[in-house]
Amino acid sequence: MKKTAILVFVGMLVSFVAAYAQSNEPLTFKDFIEGKEAFEENCLECHSLEWPLKKIANREEWDLTLTKMANTGAVLSKKQRGQVLEYLVAKSAFQQKCSVCHELERPLEKNKEFQAWVETVRRMADKKPGHLTDEEKLSIPGFLTAKGEEKEIW
């Protein structure tokens, strides 16, 4: 009995280390700020930003869109591509999840620092348990920090 428990524990440890080795650096709110910059600099060359800003999609769909844009001629470094992807995924989550109880204007008219946004979003999440994933509880504050003083998304 005891032996089995230890084996299970060792198994978990190995898979954790493997997953950690494969993953990139953990994201910080600076990635969302840089993602927004890269997005605004590189996605405006052929069309307005309104298309991507209005589009609400999940990670898989955004990944596909970025591949399509790269094939059309959009040039992003590997790091920038990752940051733009996270930025657009967080933007979509914000548009989808933060418009359920009030208009998006409510958060958009505020300008807070990252830590303050983390606390606000956690407070909102507690009003509707299960509504936000753990990832969204950090990526939405990242998106809102990158937004800064802007009061509109498009």
Contact 151, 109 (CB under 8 A): yes
How many other C-beta atoms can be found within 10 angstroms of the C-beta atom of residue 46? 10
- Write the single-letter amino acid at 109: E
For residue 85, state whether it binds ligand HEC (rule: CB under 6 A).
no
For residue 43, state whether it binds ligand HEC (rule: CB under 6 A).
yes
Instruction: Please enumerate in sequence order all residues whose Cβ is within 8 A of that of 49, keeping only pairs 6 or more positions apart, or say none.
Output: 39, 40, 43, 154
CB-wise, 9 or 41, nearer to ligand HEC?
A: 41
Distance between CA 41 and CA 152 in Å, rounded? 18
For residue 140, state whether it binds ligand HEC (rule: CB under 6 A).
yes
Q: How far is the CB of 55 from ligand HEC (least distance, A)?
A: 4
Q: How far is the CB of 63 from ligand HEC (least distance, A)?
A: 11
Near ligand HEC by CB under 6 A: residue from 40, 41, 45, 113: 45
Tell me the per-residue interface mask from 106 to 125 with ligand HEC, x by CB under 6 A, - otherwise: xx--x---------xx--x-
